[in-house]
Amino acid sequence: MLNTLKATVGTLALSAGLTTMALADDLSGTLRIISDMSNPAPRAVMEGLAAGFDEQHPGLTVELEVVDREAWKSQIRNALTANPPDVVNWYAANRMGPYVRAGLFEDISDMYASGDLPGLDSVKGAMTMDGKQWGVPYTYYQWGIYYREDIFKELGLSEPTTFEEEMANCQKIIDSGRKCYTIGSKFLWTAGGWFDYLNMRTNGFDFHMQLARGEVEWTDDRVRETFANWRKLIDMGAFIDDHQTYSWQEALPFMLKGEAAAYLMGNFVVPHLREAGLGDDQIDFYQFPKIADVAMGEDAPTDTFHIAANAQNKAAARAFLQYVTSPDVQSKINAADALGQLPVNANASVGDDEFLQQGFEMLSNNATGGIAQFFDRDFPAEMAALAMEGLQEFMVFPDNLDDILNRLESARGRIYK
């Protein structure tokens, strides 16, 4: 259904106080936006964005079409080709690659270069391909290690900053009769998160992305070093038993009951921990520790806006991208009562949620480390599916590593060709 939003501005309309908008008030015509923010809270945010932008530009008509998020994955190419809107939602990094290569997304590098998009330095890399920028992020969230602070206090542990400290903590946790980490790898992607961090910490963000682009062999010694670091944890019994039989939610009780001390997970785990009865004095968060002397890349899946290459109203589309990434708007749409995630603009603010504050500080100071989009977004879909199967297999049968790497290398040669 196509919604034309004019004049009526609801509680999420975001226009007050936005003095940073320098683009002209004489925007005219129609701005067509297709969004996949179809769940209730994100949809309310998207409708508020459209209404607030509409109010700022009286001569402009904003048309917003909200489509189902899963359906959009198969519809986006046709939408960009047949009757292109001006602005669309999508994802950062390699997930935008097919549409960049097909010439369906607009190059907006000049907006970054001219200073029209201040405060986005830490996330600019996620929008960069072939040395150019192809859109803007509007929300993301951190990954890291969420842990039972009360168990750490009981055992006299402090947050580790190095892998050696991580393993030393882990040994004390095991000696207390607990597991270090819960994980549910039944649906594979959680194992991808462990590989992301171990590979970025062992070999650096740039190497990790080279592997994602198919430029590095899976049998490379540097990849083997990542698995060697992973095996140190597996061999010491760090992970819960039979994790391959649990979904990520089904693995939560191990942490809730204190049978495991930590979970490598995205910030979306926090409401589940709170709803299950853990207070903020019982849980805390730390950045995945340093392994080698490389920049600290982070997983932070990022949702984005792009201008269609064949958009009819590019002036309005560019103004909308400025609007949605401005500090005031970023603060409001990512607030706990809206998206409940992290603003992408380093000049925005977060509320008093301690986990959002920690994530914002970590990611806003990560301009040199690199922002990855998570394994199944950064790798091509077929490669990601096969590789995550191999990662889960390695966690259960680490002696199968040679077999796994040879299979993945064979798949790399076929898939990227």
A 10 A CB-CB count for 379 gives 24
> Looking up tokens 């049968």, which residue turns up?
397
Cα gap 332→327, rounded to integer Å = 9
- Locate 120 and state its tokens: 């986005």
Give the pLDDT band (50/70/90) at residue 367: low
One-character DSSP codes across 325-341: HSHHHHHHHTSTTTT-S
Q: Which residues pair with 265 in a beta bridge?
A: 144
Q: Is 92 left (phi over 0), alpha (psi -120 to 50) or beta?
A: beta
Class of 2-141+302-364 in CATH? alpha beta
Q: Indicate if the pLDDT at residue 23 is higher than 50.
A: no
Cα gap 242→328, rounded to integer Å = 46
Question: Among 369, 341, 343, which Cα is nearest to 119's?
Answer: 343
Give the pLDDT band (50/70/90) at residue 368: low
Domain pair 2-141+302-364 / 143-299+380-415, same fold: yes
For 143-299+380-415, CATH number?
A: 3.40.190.10
- Name the packing angle between helices 314-325 and 40-56 (round to 10°): 120
33-81 pLDDT, tens digit per residue, is 999 999 898 999 999 999 999 999 999 999 999 999 889 988 999 999 9
Domain limits of the chain?
2-141+302-364, 143-299+380-415
Q: What pTM does this model have? A: 0.85
Give the pLDDT band (50/70/90) at residue 10: very low
The gap from C-alpha 237 to its chain's centroid, in whole angstroms, comes to 29
The gap from C-alpha 258 to its chain's centroid, in whole angstroms, comes to 28
302-322 pLDDT, tens digit per residue, is 999 999 999 999 999 999 999
Cα gap 211→217, rounded to integer Å = 7
Least confident of 220-229, 338-347, 367-376: 367-376
Cα gap 381→379, rounded to integer Å = 6
Cα gap 404→161, rounded to integer Å = 31
- Locate 90 and state its tokens: 């999508």
Question: Among 235, 238, 228, which Cα is nearest to 171's?
Answer: 238
172-202 pLDDT, tens digit per residue, is 999 999 999 999 999 999 999 999 999 999 9
89-148 pLDDT, tens digit per residue, is 999 988 899 999 999 999 999 999 999 999 998 889 889 999 999 999 999 999 999 999
Cα gap 76→102, rounded to integer Å = 12
Residue pair 392/244 in contact by the 8 Å Cβ criterion: yes
- Locate 334 and state its tokens: 């990512």
The one-letter amino acid code at 275 reads E
Cα gap 178→238, rounded to integer Å = 9
Q: Indicate if the pLDDT at residue 4 is higher than 80.
A: no
- Locate 262 and state its tokens: 């930590």
Share of the chain above pLDDT 90, in %: 84
Cα gap 393→410, rounded to integer Å = 17
Cα gap 46→33, rounded to integer Å = 10
Cα gap 303→126, rounded to integer Å = 10
Q: Which helix (H) or strand (E) holds 198?
A: helix 189-203
Mean pLDDT of the chain: 92
Q: Indicate if the pLDDT at residue 5 is higher than 70.
A: no
Q: Which residues pair with 35 in a beta bridge?
A: 66
- Locate 18 and state its tokens: 């936005």
Cα gap 145→168, rounded to integer Å = 16
> Looking up tokens 């609007």, which residue turns up?
323
Q: What is the pLDDT of residue 273?
A: 95
